[in-house]
Amino acid sequence: MKTPIILGIESSCDDTSAAIIQGRKILSNVVSTQKVHQNYGGVVPELASRAHLQNIVPVIDQAIQLANITKKDINAIAFTRGPGLLGSLLVGTSFAKSLAMALNIPLLEVNHMQGHIFAHFIEEDNLESPSFPFLCLTVSGGHTQIVKVNDYFSFEVLGETLDDAAGEAFDKIGKLMGLNYPAGAMIDQLAQLGDPEKFKFPIPKLEGLNFSFSGIKTSVMYFLQKNQNNPSFISENLKDLCASVQNTIIKALLVKVEKAVERTGIKNIAIAGGVSANSELRKKFKDLEITHNCKTYIPIIEYTSDNAAMIAIVGSLKYERSLFTDLNVSASARYHL
Ligand code: KG4
Ligand code: ZN
């Protein structure tokens, strides 16, 4: 029998994406990142849904073309049901349902957070998938979680953020420093030329495995206000500021990962989500192999930020187990793992 081909659709935030997967191999992965939000310093939900409506057909068409297949070759459609912005999710969900009906093929709902984690199961040369159980630090613009992954469809969220997500902290602090949204990648670049110990910001002291990032943002804000008498303070110190902020956020993340490893005794650890593209986080995470005797799994950059390949892989795993979704499904903004 031919290995099933699945179309994956992602539209939970500000990226419209479609991917084609056959088994665990990605045949195409097209991502259209909406530029319209840059002027607003954050995602504007209404504009995001409108842009998804404009993008979804061309993005899916391109994914099918690049995979060198036709619509008739698709065996099922996987889509992000949630969590995310409701208006954005509705575009992907409605489109997936209509296309599944038109092609008379099954539908597979996917949790966006599972997608981030399961990007690690996409077949890639020289890249090993994690073995169960493993811990995953999922760090994105909307979420920060440590998840214990027992099996393909069995998870326990051990800790999560009580306020801002790690990516949100990068973005909001970037905005304070006058950087464009989203600021994470730019902070990463500038930090490479700066001194991470130049400025000290407090690392949140929180019991257990939960995170908090709003305090870091507030202390950077007060620090910048205190230095307002020098109008060029930010521009003169931008690289050191970026390096110091990044250093603080990474320390706050890793202290919890270390705690989770000690608490569970699980040494297989992975990172996922947009912030897992951060070069310093990737380096420091890998160091846990030496300091904590862990086996680390670091995703390829293409699958860190929002993309449909990660939705397609979960779809493929669900298809193998006949975990299909009824056509009367609706999008769910607060869809838990
Ligand atoms: O996973 P993602 O694309 O979207 C959500 O599901 O939220 O993550 C986007 C986030 C943004 O906050 C962005 O600033 C951050 O990932 N990001 C980075 C880097 N690249 C993207 N943060 C730090 N360093 C990076 N290199
Ligand atoms: Zn995401």
Whether 66 has a pLDDT exceeding 80, the answer reads yes
Q: CA-CA distances (angstroms) from residue 150 to 34, 49, 125, 295?
A: 35, 35, 25, 16
Quick one: average pLDDT of 223-241?
97
pLDDT over 90 (residue 7): yes
232-258 average pLDDT score: 98
- What is the structure's pLDDT at 76? 98
Q: Please determine, for residue 213, whether its predicted confidence score (pLDDT) is greater than 80.
A: yes
Give helix 233-264 / helix 214-226 axis angle, nearest 10°. 160
Pocket of ligand 1 (CB under 6 A): 13, 140-142, 167, 170-171, 182-185, 188, 273-275, 277-278, 305-306
Q: In testing the pocket of ligand 1, which one of 253, 305, 307 has its CB within 8 Å of the most ligand atoms?
A: 305
Q: For 293, which DSSP code?
A: -
With H, G, I as helix, E, B as strand and everything else as coil, classify residue 231: coil
Tell me the per-residue pLDDT of 108-150, one tens digit each, with 9 for 90 and over: 999 999 999 999 999 998 889 999 999 999 999 999 999 999 9
- For residue 227, the CA-to-ligand 2 centroid distance in Å is 35
Task: Quote the percentage of the chain above a pLDDT of 70.
Answer: 100
Can you give the pLDDT at residue 175?
95
Residue with CA at minimum distance from ligand 1 atom 23: 184
CA of 120 to the centre of ligand 1 (A): 17
Residue 78 pLDDT level (bands cut at 50, 70, 90): very high
Atom number of ligand 1 nearest to Cα 84: 6
pLDDT at 34: 87
* pLDDT confidence of residue 145: 97
Pocket test for ligand 1, best of 275, 276, 280, 311 (most atoms within 8 A of CB): 275
Cα–ligand 1 centroid distance for 71 (angstroms): 32
Smallest CA-to-CA distance from 278 within 180, 191, 164 is with 191
Give the nearest ligand 1 atom to 166 CA: 12
Q: How do residues 269-307 score in pLDDT, each as one tens digit? A: 999 999 999 999 999 999 999 999 999 999 999 999 999
How far, in Å, is the centroid of ligand 1 from the Cα of 82? 18
For ligand 1, the distance from its centroid to the CA atom of residue 35, given in whole angstroms, is 15
Give me the chain's average pLDDT, please.
96
Is 1's pLDDT higher than 80? no
Q: To the nearest whole percent, how much of the chain has pLDDT over 90? A: 92
Question: From ligand 1's centre to the CA of 167, what distance in Å?
Answer: 5
Average pLDDT over residues 36-49: 87
What's the burial of 195, exposed, middle or buried (CB within 10 Å: 0-12/13-18/19+)? Answer: middle
pTM above 0.85, yes or no: yes
CA–CA distance, 284 with 262 (Å, rounded to integer): 17
Contacts of 1 (CB under 8 A, 6+ apart): none
